[in-house]
Structure 1
Amino acid sequence: MTSVLNRDYLRQSARETFLPLASEAGIDPTGYSVGAEWIKDDANRLHIVQRYDGPDGAAVVLKHALRPVDQAGFGAILDAHRNAHTALSGHEAAGVPEILAQDVDRQSYLMSFFSGETFLNLCRRNENHEPFLHAAGVWLGAFHAATFEQERPFQPKFMLDHMHRLSDQMERGERKILGQKRFVSLARDMGSYAQDATGHLGKVSSKHGDLNAHNILIDGTRAVALDFLAPSTAPVGYDIARFLLSYVQMVGDLDSLPKGHVLPPDAMQAFFEGYGNVSSNDPVVHFLMRIQILTDWNRMSDKKTLASVMRFERIKKIARRAFA
C-alpha cells in the first residue's frame, strides 16, 4: 500500500517536474492544475500519472517515475514511445500520444491528452466486450503492420527451456508456488503444444512489450496505447498473447470458455477481425497464449493482495480449460 508520505512526496516531485516540462512544451503552467491521477507503488515501481487540466478544456498528461532509478532504461522507453507515435502518425483509428517534453534525468515526460477510457474500464462497465476487443485488435494490427520487419520460422526453444528451468527449480525446492505439482506437469508438457508452432513462418514486428487491459485507451472507434517497453522486435504473437491473457484474466467471461480454448470464441473472433495480420488459428499465437498462462501463474501465485488472489484463481480456471 502506498503510504501517505510516499503520496505527498511523489506529488510534490511530480509538480516540480511538471513546471519546467510545461514551459518547454510552450504551455503556461500557472493555468494548469491536476484533474486526475493514478499512482503505482510496489516493491519495484513508484510512479505517478497525472492529467493536468488548463484553460478552455486543454489538458496534458505527466508521467513521473521515482522507482526504479534507471535513466538509461527510461530513455529507451521514451524511444519506443516516439517510434510508435511516428509509425502510427496519420492512422485514423490507431495512435500513440505525442511526447511534448521530457526530462530523462528526472524520469519524467509530458504528453498530449487522449480523452478515451481504458479498455479494462470499458469492459467492466459494459456487458458486450466485442466492440472494445475489435478496437484493441485494430490498434495492435496497425502497430504491427506499420513496424513489420520480416517473416521467419518460429523457434520455441527459449520458452521451452525456461519452462524446464522453472520446473527443475521447483522440484529441487528452490522455488515454491501454489499449485506447483500441476504447474510442473503442464510446463514439462509444453513441448507437445509447440509442435504445430515450430517452424511456422510467422511475422516479426516491433514489440510493445507490456500491452495489457490497462494500457489501451478507446474513444469510439479510435484507440491509443501507452507504456511501451524498450525497443525490440519479436513474433507478433507475443503482444497478442500478453494482451488477450490480461483481458481474459481480469474481465473475460470464463463461463463461456470451452475446453481446449484460452479465450471465449466470440471474444477471439472480435479481436482478430480487428487485428488482421494473422488469423485466430495461428499456431504461434496459440502456443504463446499457453506459455503466457504459465508465466502469469508463476508470477501471480505468491502475490497477497485481494486483486492478485482473485486474478490467480481465474488463471487456474483458465488453465483447467486451456489444457483440458
Structure 2
Amino acid sequence: MAQTRDPLLRAALADWRRLAPFAGLDPAAHLPEPLGRRQARGVARIVLRMRAEGRSDVVFKRVFRPRVDPGWAAGLQTQRAVRALLPGPARPAPVMLEDADAQAAIFGWVPGKSLNAHLLLKYDQPVQRADALRRAGDWLAQFHAATDAGPVAFHASPVQLRLSRLMARAEADPAAIVDADLFIVLAQGMARFARAAQGAPVQCAALHGDLTANNMVLGVKATTAIDFCTAVTGPVLHEVAKLLADIAARFGVDGVPRADVQAFEEGYGARVRHDPVFDYLLRAQLLFQWAALGPMGRPQTAFTATRIEKVQGVAKKLMRPQAA
C-alpha cells in the first residue's frame, strides 16, 4: 500500500492494517479510495472505500476525537438491528468489525450513489428526480414500520430549549452565528409553530440520528441508509423533517420544493405537509442547519456560502405569516 503524507489518512491506514485481519481481510490486498472526511471542533472523521481486485470492496471508517463518543457504538447497534429487520433490498450494510476504543469500523460495501448525487444528476429531469425521492420515502417508511413504537403526544419543549440556547449564544456573541440578528428574529417566531404542534399525535419509531441526502444510498435495485448515529426511539417526523430540510437547503430556491415533498410523500405513504408537528420541525431543522454553518468571519467555501444563502432563503419564506 503506497505511503502518504496526509497525517489523517496515514493514521487511518495504520488502523486499517491492524484491524483488517480480524475481519478476515488481507490489508495489503486493498487500495484506499477516499469517500469523505470531516474536521471540526477537535473531531476528525475519514471514510475510505477499500478496493480489492477479485474481492468484494469494503468501507473503513475511523473517527478521531479526544474521548470515546457512546453515540458511535449506539449507531452501529441500530444498524445491526435494522439490518435484521428489513428485507434484503432495504438492508443497511453489515458491520463486519468494530473497535470501540479506536472508534473504527469495517462495513460491507453498498453499491449505488447517494440520494444527493441522484438529485444533482437529475436536477433537470423531474420524472427521474421524483423516482429517487419516492424510493427514499419508501425506505424510510419501511424503517419506521419495522421499528414502530406507537403514537405519543408531541412535546415541543426540547426543541424550543435548543433554540433558546442558540438565541442566547447569538445574543451574547453576534459573531457566533451568521447573520445573528436575523437568526434571532426567526427563532423567536418559532413559538407560534410550537404552540400549534404541542400535544398533536405523532408516531414513534427508531431514529437514524443523521438522516440527510448524503446518508441514503440508491443502487440499481436496493435503497438503504448509512452512518446510523443513535439507538433511541422518538417521533418519526424528526427524521422526515431533517431529510426534507436538508434537501430544501441543497435545492430550494424560494421555500421547500413542492414537487420534491410530494414525490417523497408518495413513497412514504403518508402526507406530512400541513401536519403541525412536521411544519414546526421542518423550520427548526433549517434553523439548526443555519447555526451549524459556522460563525461570522470564518473562511467559507463556495459550498458553505451557497448553503447559507439557501438555508436563509427557505427559512425566511417559511417564517412569513402566510406560511403558518
* TM-score normalised by structure 1 residue count: 0.87
RMSD: 2.4
Structure 1 residues 206 and 308: CA distance shift in structure 2, 3 A:
same
Three-state SS of the structure 1 residue aligned to 2:197 is coil
Q: What is the alpha-carbon distance in structure 2 between the residues aligned to residue 198 and residue 7 of structure 1?
A: 53
CA contact (8 A) 2:60 2:107 kept: yes
Which of 274, 277, 282 matches 2:275?
A: 282
Q: What is the alpha-carbon distance in structure 2 between the residues aligned to residue 106 and residue 179 of structure 1?
A: 38
Pairwise CA distance, 1:154: 0.7
Q: What is the alpha-carbon distance in structure 2 between the residues aligned to residue 244 and residue 274 of structure 1?
A: 13
Counterpart for residue 181 of structure 1: 181
The answer to whether the aligner puts 1:304 opposite 2:308 as a matched pair is no
Three-state SS of the structure 1 residue aligned to 2:218 is strand
Letter of the aligned partner of 1:274 in structure 2? G
Q: What is the alpha-carbon distance in structure 2 between the residues aligned to residue 131 and residue 207 of structure 1?
A: 24
Structure 1 residues 47 and 177: CA distance shift in structure 2, 3 A:
closer
Q: What is the alpha-carbon distance in structure 1 between the residues aligned to residue 313 and residue 164 of structure 2?
A: 22
Pairwise CA distance, 1:278: 5.4
The answer to whether the aligner puts 1:266 opposite 2:272 as a matched pair is no
Greater Cα shift, 276-285 or 132-141 = 276-285
Three-state SS of the structure 1 residue aligned to 2:196 is coil
Pairwise CA distance, 1:218: 0.8
Counterpart for residue 245 of structure 1: 245
Structure 1 residues 64 and 173: CA distance shift in structure 2, 3 A:
closer
Structure 1 residues 150 and 7: CA distance shift in structure 2, 3 A:
farther
Which of 80, 90, 115 matches 2:78?
A: 80
Letter of the aligned partner of 2:25 in structure 1? I
Three-state SS of the structure 1 residue aligned to 2:93 is coil
Q: What is the alpha-carbon distance in structure 1 between the residues aligned to residue 186 and residue 72 of structure 2?
A: 36
Pairwise CA distance, 1:301: 4.9
Structure 1 residues 172 and 38: CA distance shift in structure 2, 3 A:
closer
Structure 1 residues 287 and 33: CA distance shift in structure 2, 3 A:
same
Q: Percent same amino acid at aligned positions?
A: 27
Counterpart for residue 117 of structure 1: 113
Question: 1:272-292 deviations in whole A, cap 9, x for unaligned?
Answer: 111125543322111100111
Structure 1 residues 163 and 102: CA distance shift in structure 2, 3 A:
closer
The answer to whether the aligner puts 1:322 opposite 2:315 as a matched pair is no
Counterpart for residue 199 of structure 1: 199
CA contact (8 A) 2:176 2:294 kept: no
Q: What is the alpha-carbon distance in structure 2 between the residues aligned to residue 213 and residue 33 of structure 1?
A: 27
Letter of the aligned partner of 2:228 in structure 1? F
Greater Cα shift, 39-48 or 119-128 = 39-48
CA contact (8 A) 1:39 1:48 kept: yes
1:206-245 correspondence to structure 2 within 5 Å: 206-245=206-245
Letter of the aligned partner of 1:282 in structure 2? D
* TM-score normalised by structure 2 residue count: 0.87
CA contact (8 A) 1:122 1:132 kept: yes
Pairwise CA distance, 1:173: 5.0
Extract unaligned runs of 5+ from structure 1.
Answer: none
CA contact (8 A) 1:241 1:289 kept: yes
Structure 1 residues 144 and 183: CA distance shift in structure 2, 3 A:
same
Letter of the aligned partner of 1:211 in structure 2? L
CA contact (8 A) 2:75 2:230 kept: yes
CA contact (8 A) 1:46 1:68 kept: no
1:152-163 correspondence to structure 2 within 5 Å: 152-163=152-163
CA contact (8 A) 1:169 1:175 kept: no
CA contact (8 A) 1:22 1:28 kept: yes
Three-state SS of the structure 2 residue aligned to 1:195 is helix
Extract unaligned runs of 5+ from structure 2.
Answer: none
Letter of the aligned partner of 1:86 in structure 2? A
CA contact (8 A) 2:153 2:199 kept: yes
